[in-house]
Structure 1
């Protein structure tokens, strides 16, 4: 019999510690399902036991365009997770989740980056 997770979400995850920041690790990030079980979280081939978690932090913007990065830390591994809009791990994990402000510089960087990409696409279409 196969164990059924209590909650799943499609995510992008990378091994990064500390506040969210631009990193090439995000370019190589796992795009997979995060599965929450009674005793662990599985993210692709990574397994994070609930009993090993030392901290869980949800970095999020306070206003404007919503940016959210969730970090789970154990003594051996720290994983940052980017959820699809409208998805949140809150209420699905057996440990407290601290909230922290999303770094403003990174939020501005993301807006400028996407405006730049939109400008390139627009120029390509209309030239």
Structure 2
């Protein structure tokens, strides 16, 4: 049976990997393991040891505490949808992460205009 902490840490590994645009294979190579092991960590099937978590945090450029952020909130039952129709854990949604990555790839002045447009459209809906 998977432990909730292992599942949470795995989700945070996947989340950070997606945010920086790294594949499981690339992360595995940086850490010195097989990509299948990264898959098992990300699903919570395998527990990440302290030394391996240290290696992963260095490879992903985050402090170890990153993997435990919002742990208390993860233990509480989350509603299926929150205010505005957003999923309970929006940062675990691949589409949302791809949208964020694409958004920040846009030059700042154009990004601001896109943000203003999105705000107007959401107010009109």
TM-score (structure 2 length as normaliser): 0.25
* Structure (1 or 2) with the greater strand fraction: 1
